[in-house]
């Protein structure tokens, strides 16, 4: 019997079943792959929590945009006021400068973007799966190395790192400025033209590569775009427990 | 009979296939990493998001008032010097450009600890809501890093001795509780550096100096 004859003798339903089973196998494999190493929880109690978190994150995005718009409006009004009293002008200038120093103004310039991704290595028996995920400590280490290498502004997944920023673990993801960030993590920095060489050559960064990338397979990518944009910090700057120290008046003549 | 069986088989496989396609698409559509969080972590996340959203609403209300005052003053042809001074003082204090005072904690670190350990301590203080921090009277601002191996720490190019103090402004009870809770950062550091003594003391008044670091960007330009 020729191959063509044998093929014609296979019933149509067998071919359909074969294709369906093949797709089934592919989907099962895809589903299993997508669940490691970040374990998926599928309990009923999680569903409302996930929906609440997503709703709050959407609200947060809108609130941040509203705050940025208001700050831009204030700056607009202050700019219109130029040409008035010299004292007002001077204060306007000082305020504009202070906002840049505070990170309340977006910044663009030369720099680099580092991307951190979870490991795709198979966790060996007895290994700790969290070692194969990017942690808050990993992000802090990279941010610290960037500062030490001369970076003057840093953001992670669009969240500006400021005087008050905390970066903490939450499950296998990260909270930064109390905003939820999920991997991959893009750490952007503005700095001198040799920022990449400085970071790459630092002992601390080499230790990070040895202990996290080589040992556990975390993935690190670099890019040096012509212009890096670091967004403004969209968060509170209200002080509840502290106040500026008022300088003592200088003694009279 | 044989044909009926084959149809039933195909129907069953196709149904399973459809179910798996839906499951796969749903799991990919979340796509935010939330699927990787346990119920406990999701609860923490929701609490954090709620807190930040409340802070943002307060900040928005303050900024709206500020904008209205500024527009009112400008439309009446009045100078807005007082408003501008207040705003300037607030921004400079928050940034770390000026000295600040208030309630907080004094954290004494005695013994040889690595820079990473001190950074973890500072991170936890920020997480607990510290409004200003200083390490041995050096104000912590963007770019300030305590670095070096145990016994050779430095901050802002100044060597740190093996006994130094961290001061933090904020709610003393919250800051103390966050640092000293069971399994908290002080306990973790005690396990990593058993020879290091860390004590946390709530204080009614603490003063933190302004930074000496130049925070104006030299390479980036503001995008207004």
pLDDT in tens, A120-172: 999 999 999 999 999 999 999 999 999 999 999 999 999 999 989 999 998 87
Residue A173 lies in a domain: yes
Interface touch B35/A50, C-beta < 8 Å: yes
Cβ(A227)–Cβ(A189) below 8 Å? no
Q: Which of A11, A94, A238 sits opposite B62 (nearest CB)?
A: A238
Among the listed residues B168, B195, B20, the one whose alpha carbon sits nearest the alpha carbon of residue B106: B168
Which residue of chain A has the CA closest to B52? A178
Query: At residue A38, does pLDDT exceed 50?
Result: no
Query: At residue A247, does pLDDT exceed 70?
Result: no
Mean pLDDT of A97-111: 96
Q: Which of A165, A182, A245 sits opposite B126 (nearest CB)?
A: A165
Residue A248 lies in a domain: no
Interface touch A190/B219, C-beta < 8 Å: yes
Chain A partners of B104 at a C-beta cutoff of 8 Å?
241-242
pLDDT of residue B28: 44
Do A93 and A121 lie in one domain? The reply is no
Do A92 and A123 lie in one domain? The reply is no
Do A139 and A187 lie in one domain? The reply is yes
Do A97 and A113 lie in one domain? The reply is no
Tally of structural domains, chain A = 3
Residue A5 lies in a domain: no
pLDDT band (50, 70, 90) for residue B22? low
Do A191 and A112 lie in one domain? The reply is yes
Token digits of residue B47: 């609490």
Do A145 and A225 lie in one domain? The reply is yes
Indicate whether this model's pTM tops 0.90.
Answer: no
Residue A3 lies in a domain: no
Establish if A142 touches chain B: CB-CB under 8 angstroms. Answer: no
Which residue of chain B has the CA closest to A104? B91
CA B184 to centroid of chain Cα atoms: 16
d(CA A166, CA A178) in angstroms, rounded, equals: 8
Do A166 and A133 lie in one domain? The reply is yes
Which residue of chain A has the CA closest to B130? A164
pLDDT in tens, B130-145: 999 999 999 999 999 9
Q: Which of B94, B169, B215 sits opposite A241 (nearest CB)?
A: B169
Which residue of chain B has the CA closest to A231? B223
Residue A126 lies in a domain: yes
Q: Looking at chain B from residue 194 to 213, which residues have their Cβ under 8 Å from any Cβ of chain A?
A: 207-208
Q: How many CB atoms lie within 10 A of CB B128?
A: 21
Do A150 and A57 lie in one domain? The reply is no
Among the listed residues A206, A102, A203, the one whose alpha carbon sits nearest the alpha carbon of residue A153: A102
For the domain spanning B99-208, the CATH number is: 3.30.70.1880
Which residues are CB-neighbours of B67 under 8 A, at least 6 positions away? A70, A73, A74, A77
Residue A212 lies in a domain: yes
pLDDT of residue A43: 56
Stated length of chain B: 224
- DSSP labels for B22-73? HHHHHHHHH-SSGGGS-HHHHHHHHHHHHHHHHHHHHHHHHHHHHHHHHHHH
Which residue of chain B has the CA closest to A67? B60
Residue A207 lies in a domain: yes
d(CA A69, CA A74) in angstroms, rounded, equals: 9
pLDDT of residue B9: 76
Chain B partners of A165 at a C-beta cutoff of 8 Å?
126
Mean pLDDT of A82-91: 72
Instruction: Among A87, A102, A117, identify where a domain stops.
Output: A102
Whether this model's ipTM surpasses 0.85 comes out as: no
Do A33 and A53 lie in one domain? The reply is no
pLDDT band (50, 70, 90) for residue A37? very low
d(CA B188, CA B67) in angstroms, rounded, equals: 46
Q: Which of B45, B74, B120 sits opposite A53 (nearest CB)?
A: B45
Do A221 and A139 lie in one domain? The reply is yes
| Residue bearing the bigger pLDDT, A137 or A28 | A137
Residue A36 lies in a domain: yes
Do A86 and A113 lie in one domain? The reply is no
Cβ(B146)–Cβ(B115) below 8 Å? yes
| Residue bearing the bigger pLDDT, B31 or A24 | A24
Do A205 and A131 lie in one domain? The reply is yes
Q: Which of A181-195, B20-34, B80-94 has the lowest mean pLDDT?
A: B20-34
| Residue bearing the bigger pLDDT, B26 or A109 | A109
Chain A partners of B19 at a C-beta cutoff of 8 Å?
none
Establish if B64 touches chain A: CB-CB under 8 angstroms. Answer: yes
pLDDT in tens, B53-63: 988 998 898 88
Chain A partners of B53 at a C-beta cutoff of 8 Å?
56, 59-60, 63
Q: Which domain holds residue A121?
A: 107-230
Interface touch B217/A153, C-beta < 8 Å: yes
């Amino acid at each position: 019997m020729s191959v063509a004859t044998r093929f014609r003798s296979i019933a149509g339903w067998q071919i359909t079943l074969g294709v369906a089973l093949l797709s089934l196998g592919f989907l099962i494999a895809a589903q299993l792959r997508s669940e490691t190493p970040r374990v998926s929880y599928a309990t009923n109690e999680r569903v409302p929590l996930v929906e609440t978190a997503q709703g709050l994150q959407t609200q947060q995005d809108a609130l941040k945009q509203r705050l940025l718009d208001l700050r831009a409006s204030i700056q607009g009004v202050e700019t219109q006021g130029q040409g008035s009293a010299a004292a007002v002008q001077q204060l306007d200038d000082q305020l504009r400068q202070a906002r840049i120093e505070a990170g309340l103004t977006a910044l663009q310039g030369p720099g680099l973007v580092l991307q951190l991704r979870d490991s795709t290595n198979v966790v060996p028996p007895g290994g700790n799966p969290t070692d194969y995920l990017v942690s808050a400590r990993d992000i802090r280490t990279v941010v610290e190395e960037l500062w030490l290498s001369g970076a003057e502004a840093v953001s992670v997944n669009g969240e500006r790192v400021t005087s008050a920023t905390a970066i903490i673990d939450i499950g296998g993801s990260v909270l930064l400025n109390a905003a939820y960030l999920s991997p991959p993590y893009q750490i952007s920095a503005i700095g001198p033209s040799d920022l990449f060489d400085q970071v790459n050559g630092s002992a601390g960064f080499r230790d990070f590569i040895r202990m996290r990338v080589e040992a556990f397979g975390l993935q690190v990518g670099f890019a040096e775009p012509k212009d890096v944009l670091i967004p403004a910090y969209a968060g509170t700057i209200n002080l509840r427990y502290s106040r500026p120290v008022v300088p003592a008046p200088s003694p009279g003549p | 009979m044989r044909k009926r069986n084959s149809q039933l088989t195909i129907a069953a496989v196709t149904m399973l296939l459809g179910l798996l396609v839906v499951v796969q698409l749903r799991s990919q559509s979340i796509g935010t990493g939330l699927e990787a969080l346990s119920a406990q972590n999701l609860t923490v996340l929701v609490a954090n998001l709620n807190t930040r959203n409340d802070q943002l609403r307060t900040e928005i209300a303050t900024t709206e008032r500020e904008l209205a005052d500024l527009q009112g003053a400008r439309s009446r042809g009045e100078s807005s010097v007082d408003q501008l001074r207040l705003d300037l003082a607030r921004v400079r204090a928050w940034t770390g450009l000026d000295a600040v005072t208030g309630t907080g904690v004094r954290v004494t670190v005695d013994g040889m600890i690595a820079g990473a350990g001190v950074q973890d301590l500072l991170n936890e203080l920020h997480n607990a809501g510290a409004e200003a921090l200083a390490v041995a009277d050096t104000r912590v601002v963007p770019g300030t890093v305590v670095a070096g191996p145990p016994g050779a720490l430095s901050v802002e190019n100044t060597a740190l001795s093996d006994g130094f103090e961290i001061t933090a402004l904020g709610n003393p009870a919250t800051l103390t509780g966050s640092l000293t809770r069971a399994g908290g950062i002080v306990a973790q550091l005690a396990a990593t550096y058993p020879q290091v003594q860390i004590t946390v003391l709530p204080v009614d008044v603490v003063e933190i100096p302004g930074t000496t670091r130049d925070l104006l960007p030299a390479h980036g330009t503001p995008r207004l």
